[in-house]
Structure 1
Amino acid sequence: MKTNFLLTLVLLSISLFSQNRTEIKIPDIQGYFTLKGDFHVHTIFSDGTVWPEDRIKEAWRDGLDVIALTDHLEYSPHSKDVSKDKNRPHEIASETAAEYGIMLIRGGEITRSMPPGHLNAYFLNDVNKLNQTTFMKAIEAAADQKAFINWNHPGWKAQIKDTVKWYDIHTELYNKGWLNGIEIVNYHEYYPEVFQWAIDKNLTIFGNSDTHEPISFEYPEKEGKFRPVTLVFAKEKTLSGVREAFENHRTAVLFNDTLFGKEEYLKAIYEGSVKILNQSAFVDESKNIFIRFENSSSIPVLLKKTGDDADVKSPEFIKIPALTTIIVEFTMQKNQGKKGVKIAYEAQNWLCGPKTGLKINIGFDAINLNNPVLKSENNLYYFTIPGTGSEFDVRYSFDKGMKDGLCKLSEPVKKTGKFTLYYQLFVNNSPTGKVYERDLYVHRGVFANLLSTGNYSKKYDGGGSAGLVNGMLGSTNYRDGNWTGYEQEDAEIIMDLNKPVKTEAVSMNFLHAPFSWIFSPISVTLFVSVNGKDFEEVKTIRPEPTKESDETEIRTISFDGINKEIRYIKVSIKNIGLCPEWHTGSGKKAWFFIDEIIIN
């Protein structure tokens, strides 16, 4: 028997010791402490079933900082077993509150039919003095003690007929300064009309549990339920600090993952909770940007788009769960970057009014380093990146390690022929993000005048009309923006070098990627001319026929041994037309991709 008793004590001690507090993570704002409270709590000293000390322990477990015990003044169904003294709940709970670090407000609930309904009085000296024969005498007794008076559950269905109503007696109380706050949330109910009253009349808002049973019975954790919480923005963590916040209407309400309150407080909480971790985000080769949002608060954010940035395709809805980091995909409409992207959203569950969500601007810099180009000025070549102005510090080098010979984009490229150029973004003189690389070929035909290019695909245009002579070499990725694609079409390309040029050889690259329905051409014929009218055929080259075993590669066709001055070049290219019989796309239209006609 003794052994069993000791075992029970040990197990009970372990149970109490192992209780975990659920921390409600909401940042302090504007120099105020963000306190969490429940200001409508009943005990066994009225119609509740819980001992006052246990209400303190429940509050601690639920992450609260302050509560008010507010037993009914006129109603004591357990009076045979407990005292009718309405000060006793506070007296019993005070020592436990001190032990658990919970601030405890002495309060009571004036309980009358509607109108005026039920009202809580806070910061009382003697709760019993409010137990009067008439409602007005009870309110006067509260006012005499300089109580803060709060209207409870104005939308409680048991006390209203058709709709929520503000009565004349409430106007009288309000005008006398005897109605200071109002519950916009009570138990499991939210009253949007009451929220609007609070806004219109500048009443302090509350969201309270009105708990009678053990809190875990009314808000089962296994069902993901949690009591309503009133947030108090207090100058100090004291009861006088709480009261000062009440009197200056510095509260908000958290209920069912929805936050209610004034815009200035909700905005401050959002800014203290939600961060974009990569404010400068890189655009990938598919024009996508992946933005990382971190929410360090216990409040999820449900965003609905209300305005666009014309240059960016953005999701209609974004959900940022509590205490989570997520990645959200945005897409540039064009293959370029942009500084100062701004997209308007509204937080649907952060309400500044019954129908008004907190307005949020999501902003970031979209940095696109995927499509560099060469440009020519005063017979010098410059490496540049469209969409990145002087506000972005991009540097390049011929050194893969980006250690030697770093140059800014404003400095000309002092190299000719074929070479690889490496480049990277710098922020505050420090390298940021990955090192990009591009193969270039600065040759005699760079920026030649293209007189004819044939009917190429607008989707694969090689960077525009000059894409075939821009010095940028295509990679094995047909989407890299450097390839000019022709679907089933043959092509005749004519270029003017602007003056006679001693030419040794002409070459060009073709992408061979059968799995992507891109094939080497059947034949390529080169013609040259001095006057642009009389063309001399140099040669016809027929690449090796496509085989089923072919892998993706870049095939170079070169016409060597020209050794003459020429000004005009014409290239005739014969497309394979249709995919071969062995191909999965047999009989469907085939492509050829060409890039950079190189003059040496």
Structure 2
Amino acid sequence: MKLKVIICFLAFIFFNCKQKPENLFLQQDQIQITQPRLEATNQLIDSIAYLTASLKLEGTKIYYTTNGESPSENSNLYTSPIKVINPGTYKFKAYHPDWKESDIVEKVFYKKGIPIDSIIWHSNASDRYKGVGSLTLNNNKKGTVDFKDTQWLGFDTIAHASLQLKIESFVKSLTIGYLSDPSSWIFPPEHITVKTSVDGNNFKKLSINLQSIDGISAPSLKHVDIPIGEPIKYVQVEVKNVSSIPDWHEGKGNKAWLFMDEWVLNY
């Protein structure tokens, strides 16, 4: 009887070991490789920036696009750092013959804007997320998807500030950069009001509502452009956060966070 039990046990081990490589192969084909890591010398361009993509996995090829389309194996093959001269969006995806291709990762480049002479804050960022000081939103440095990056200003209330240019200048638009990371309770702005003036007394008002999100998504860098299209010297900006996290979220009913990194006055 004991001999039978031993024989059955050994047969069970042998059978499972024999099948394991095939099962592993099937699982390997479904495992997704990680996104390439992107590093840029600068994302606000006044001359030239360099963009590097890397992924430490032998046999991987990285493809990219510059026209806003999703990369495929028919897109540009990344072989060396890319020289970036003009603003735009660079999207990357990694491929490997034995693994599922990566998700898309992107890096957005902006034209360096008109220098802001001064920023007066009428509301305060959180002590936990106060960036590098009052000029965080005008230091020509973008934040990463990590909300702990010191380039982010974090608010749990309305963000309100007054900007002044050194001289009256034609401004095409105002770009406001922000972070979307709903799993960390960080949501896009809900409402933005911009007031512009030449003399500091008579202001023209523009208000926009932003589309709300309806589910959890990966952390991403976003921006919104507010058209101005005239000479100005003074700007008042009020950015309202989501006052209450929606019902589909685990934090429903609580205040949402608003994270911003750069305000760019485009010419």
- TM-score of the pair, normalised by structure 1: 0.27
Query: Offset at 1:585?
Result: 1.6
- The CA distance in 2 between the partners of 1:552 and 1:453, in whole Å, is 28
Percent identity reads: 25
Secondary structure of the residue aligned to 2:137 is helix
Among 203, 210, 213, which residue is 1:546 paired with?
Answer: 213
Partner of residue 467, structure 1? 136
Deviations 1:60-105 (A, max 9, x none): xxxxxxxxxxxxxxxxxxxxxxxxxxxxxxxxxxxxxxxxxxxxxx
- The CA distance in 2 between the partners of 1:506 and 1:473, in whole Å, is 15
Higher relative contact order (CA 8 A, sep 6+): 2
Secondary structure of the residue aligned to 1:445 is coil
Query: Offset at 1:558?
Result: 1.2
Secondary structure of the residue aligned to 1:505 is strand
Structure 1 residue runs of 4 or more that deviate by more than 4 Å after TM superposition: 401-405, 414-420
Query: Offset at 1:505?
Result: 1.3
Secondary structure of the residue aligned to 1:515 is helix
Secondary structure of the residue aligned to 1:599 is strand
Q: Is the 8 A contact 2:166 2:233 kept in 1?
A: yes
Partner of residue 457, structure 1? 126
Among 210, 224, 233, which residue is 1:557 paired with?
Answer: 224
- The CA distance in 2 between the partners of 1:449 and 1:419, in whole Å, is 29
Seen in structure 2, the aligned counterparts of structure 1 residues 418 and 498 have a Cα distance that, compared at 3 Å, is: farther
Structure 2 residue ranges without an equivalent (≥5): 1-38, 53-78, 91-106
The residue type equivalent to 1:495 in the other structure is: L
The residue type equivalent to 1:517 in the other structure is: W
Query: Offset at 1:553?
Result: 2.7
Among 583, 586, 590, which residue is 2:249 paired with?
Answer: 583
Seen in structure 2, the aligned counterparts of structure 1 residues 531 and 474 have a Cα distance that, compared at 3 Å, is: same
- The CA distance in 1 between the partners of 2:223 and 2:131, in whole Å, is 17
Partner of residue 445, structure 1? 114
Among 459, 475, 500, which residue is 2:168 paired with?
Answer: 500
Partner of residue 24, structure 2? none
Seen in structure 2, the aligned counterparts of structure 1 residues 398 and 553 have a Cα distance that, compared at 3 Å, is: closer
Partner of residue 233, structure 2? 567
Residues 589-600 of structure 1 mapped to structure 2, 5 A cutoff = 589-600=255-266
Partner of residue 158, structure 1? none
The residue type equivalent to 1:455 in the other structure is: N
Seen in structure 2, the aligned counterparts of structure 1 residues 439 and 546 have a Cα distance that, compared at 3 Å, is: closer
The residue type equivalent to 2:210 in the other structure is: P
Seen in structure 2, the aligned counterparts of structure 1 residues 397 and 443 have a Cα distance that, compared at 3 Å, is: closer
Larger radius of gyration: 1
Tell me whether 1:515 sits opposite 2:183 in the alignment: yes
Q: Is the 8 A contact 1:579 1:589 kept in 2?
A: yes
Seen in structure 2, the aligned counterparts of structure 1 residues 443 and 403 have a Cα distance that, compared at 3 Å, is: closer
Tell me whether 1:481 sits opposite 2:150 in the alignment: yes
The residue type equivalent to 2:235 in the other structure is: I
- The CA distance in 1 between the partners of 2:256 and 2:120, in whole Å, is 25
Structure 1 residue ranges without an equivalent (≥5): 1-369, 375-380, 383-395, 406-413, 421-437
- The CA distance in 2 between the partners of 1:510 and 1:453, in whole Å, is 19
Tell me whether 1:524 sits opposite 2:192 in the alignment: yes
Please identify which structure carries the higher helix content. Answer: 1
The residue type equivalent to 1:467 in the other structure is: T
- The CA distance in 2 between the partners of 1:399 and 1:590, in whole Å, is 33
Residues 127-526 of structure 1 mapped to structure 2, 5 A cutoff = 398=50, 400=52, 441-452=110-121, 454-487=123-156, 489-526=157-194
- The CA distance in 2 between the partners of 1:457 and 1:529, in whole Å, is 29
Seen in structure 2, the aligned counterparts of structure 1 residues 458 and 416 have a Cα distance that, compared at 3 Å, is: farther
Deviations 1:185-211 (A, max 9, x none): xxxxxxxxxxxxxxxxxxxxxxxxxxx
Coordinate RMSD, CA, aligned: 3.3
Partner of residue 9, structure 2? none
Q: Is the 8 A contact 2:131 2:151 kept in 1?
A: yes
Secondary structure of the residue aligned to 2:178 is strand
Seen in structure 2, the aligned counterparts of structure 1 residues 485 and 403 have a Cα distance that, compared at 3 Å, is: closer
Q: Is the 8 A contact 2:116 2:164 kept in 1?
A: no
- The CA distance in 1 between the partners of 2:219 and 2:241, in whole Å, is 18
- The CA distance in 1 between the partners of 2:190 and 2:82, in whole Å, is 45
Q: Is the 8 A contact 2:183 2:216 kept in 1?
A: no
Aligned residues: 183
Q: Is the 8 A contact 2:194 2:236 kept in 1?
A: yes
